[in-house]
């Protein structure tokens, strides 16, 4: 089992020792607001990185055409075949897996995988983000918690059978037993994973049974990757932090949704050690992104070494 670290650090301080810079492979999921996507893309663009864009099949045709024309001038960009992504369905996980596999099969040299939506935005420059990952090379960043202990109200998502249709999740469900000898974990959809981590997820034969089961769960994108990495022989280092600034607010009875940031959230966005923020909507506030750029090129103020809390064995069940 992997080492698990708490989210109490900005990184490792390495003094003046030079660190080899990493290359990043971005997967960006787009379904609306093409102008906002363009601003995001220009903010994270670096010629040494790689970019894979997925445009939701439900998006208006004009969005795909506009994004495609915009990206023509960038040589290190690829567009993933559009698929229909349904909220709450396994199709979101499949889009992530397809993106990882595509980027791995490119045979290009990249070190980290980062997934974003078209309504995200970086809080730091690519130089600072790459410096952070270079100093922490080998760690993967993803929110992780014991699902039954920390979010028991979500257990219905995995203890019932759900079916995904072309545009929604079936309202008819039935109870079923969860996977034998597997501890369910939960966190969020967003992650920063090492290439080795992506290779394990895409190539290990251990993962197939999780794909088969989570195919018929609800909101699998918040728990599939966590459960796989914590219940298999994956031995990489996981940090319980997705490096995203998000304010979660209630949305109905079964879920939370990210608050759309406005100028009133500026203090929140300018504190902490986040690398990206979610989410923004120019139709709600078209000034907030310009405001956060004030600290865009400022490095993290402190670098504190993370202490290894312990080796976590397969039967551990206390992570909160």
280 with 109: CB under 8 angstroms?
no
Query: At how many degrees (to 10) do helices 61-71 and 34-44 cross?
Result: 30
Pairing of strands 139-146, 237-239: parallel
Domain boundaries, the chain: 3-7+21-295
Radius of gyration of the chain (CA): 19
Closest CA to 279 of 255, 254, 252, 247: 247
Which 3 state secondary structure label does DSSP give 304? coil
Q: What is the pLDDT along the chain (320 residues), one digit of tens a residue?
A: 556 667 645 444 444 556 788 999 999 999 899 999 999 999 999 999 999 999 988 888 888 899 999 999 999 999 999 888 898 999 999 999 999 999 999 989 999 999 999 999 999 999 999 999 999 999 999 999 999 999 999 999 999 999 998 778 988 899 999 999 999 999 999 999 999 999 999 999 999 999 999 999 999 999 999 999 999 999 999 999 999 999 988 876 656 789 999 999 999 998 888 999 999 999 999 999 999 988 888 887 543 343 332 233 333 333 33
The DSSP 8-state label assigned to residue 206 in this structure reads G
- CATH number for region 3-7+21-295: 3.90.550
Backbone angles phi, psi at 169, to 5 degrees: -95, 135
- Number of H helices and number of E strands within the chain? 11, 15
């Amino acid at each position: 089992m992997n080492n698990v670290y708490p989210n109490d650090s900005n990184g490792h301080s390495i003094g003046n020792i030079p660190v080899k810079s990493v290359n990043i492979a971005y997967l960006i999921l787009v379904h609306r607001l093409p102008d906002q996507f363009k601003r995001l893309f220009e903010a994270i663009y670096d010629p040494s990185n790689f970019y894979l864009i997925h445009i939701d099949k439900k998006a208006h045709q004009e969005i795909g055409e506009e994004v495609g024309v915009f990206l023509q001038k960038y040589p290190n960009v690829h567009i993933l075949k559009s698929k229909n992504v349904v909220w709450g369905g396994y199709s979101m996980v499949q889009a992530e897996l397809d993106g990882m596999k595509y980027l791995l099969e490119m045979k290009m040299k990249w070190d980290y995988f980062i997934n974003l939506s078209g309504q995200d935005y970086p809080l730091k420059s690519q130089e600072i983000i790459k410096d952070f990952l270079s100093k922490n090379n080998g760690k993967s960043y993803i929110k992780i918690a014991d699902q039954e202990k920390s979010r028991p109200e979500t257990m219905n998502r995995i203890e019932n059978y759900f079916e995904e249709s072309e545009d929604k999740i079936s309202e008819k469900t039935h109870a079923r037993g969860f996977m034998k000898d597997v501890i369910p974990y939960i966190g969020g959809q967003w992650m920063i994973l090492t290439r080795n981590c992506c290779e394990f997820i895409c190539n290990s034969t251990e993962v197939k049974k999780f794909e088969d089961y989570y195919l018929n769960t609800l909101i699998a994108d918040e728990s599939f990757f966590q459960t796989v990495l914590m219940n298999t022989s994956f031995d990489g280092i996981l940090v319980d932090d997705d490096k995203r600034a998000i304010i979660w607010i209630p949305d109905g009875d079964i879920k939370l949704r990210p608050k759309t940031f406005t100028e009133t959230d500026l203090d929140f966005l300018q504190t902490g050690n986040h690398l990206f923020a979610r989410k923004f909507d120019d139709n709600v506030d078209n000034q907030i992104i310009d405001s956060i750029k004030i600290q865009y090129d400022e490095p993290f103020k402190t670098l504190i070494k993370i202490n290894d809390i312990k080796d976590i064995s397969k039967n551990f069940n206390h992570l909160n």
